[in-house]
Amino acid sequence: MESLYNVPVSTKTIASLYPGISGTLQKVSALEHEEKIIRLKRGLYVVNPLWNEKPVSLELIANHLYSPSYVSKHTALRYYGLIPERVNLIQSMTLKHTRRFENALGTFEYTEVDKDYFPIGLRHVESENAAFVIASPEKALCDLIVFTPGITLRYIKEARAFLEEDLRLDMDAFRSFDKSILMDCSRIGKKSQSIQTLIKLIER
């Protein structure tokens, strides 16, 4: 079990650690009952951090729970420290159908995007405890605007109010955003006018 660290694994992988035990599915159930592993969804588990003292990365979990996917929207903006609110919902974008999962670690939401739009502005983050794919701040903001109904930023005044008042976004950081990522999202994704308004706001 120690060898599993904090990476999500399948029932088959856990069972392979106990080759001498018959009824390995029952062993997996027993480990879950003993709270040594946490069920993420059917057939996918992670070792309980209270048992092996290995921190669990929700971003890593999100990537494995439904893939291909990357962490985005409010979750990514909070990860970078760009918005003050704590985010309880782990939001991701995916090439698959829109889905939602709930488990002991939280609620994981996935929004479907087009294959041409998907790879724009992604980052591969590696730390001591995890490695995962997350949207850049620019892509996370675009995803939030593009895939949230009712957000239309036609004018610079509207964009500023949305960022400052609704999101409470770090505006100093926003002014240093990479405009090329925003431009790519504008060309390939939806709500092109809204993204163009963000670019104009940065240029003012």
CA distance 162 to 201: 12
Q: Where are the domains of the chain?
A: 2-52, 58-203
Please answer whether residues 108 and 92 qualify as being in contact, where contact means their C-beta atoms are separated by less than 8 angstroms: yes
Tell me the pTM. 0.92
**43-52, 98-107, 165-174: least confident range:** 43-52
Residue 144 clears pLDDT 90, i.e. is over it: yes
Reported confidence tier of residue 2, pLDDT bands at 50, 70, 90: low
Give residue 20's pLDDT.
Answer: 65
Quick one: pLDDT at residue 21? 63
Comparing 133 with 23, the larger pLDDT belongs to 133
Helix axes 179-188, 137-146, angle to 10 degrees: 30
Contact 173, 137 (CB under 8 A): yes
Residue 13 pLDDT: 87
The predicted structure's pLDDT at residue 86: 84
Cα 82 to Cα 144: distance, rounded to the nearest angstrom = 13
Q: Cα 26 to chain center, whole Å? A: 32
Q: What pLDDT score was predicted for residue 24?
A: 65
- Confidence at 22, pLDDT banded by 50, 70, 90: low
The model's confidence at residue 18, banded by pLDDT at 50, 70 and 90, is: confident
The pLDDT of residue 51: 86
Which helix (H) or strand (E) element contains residue 115? none
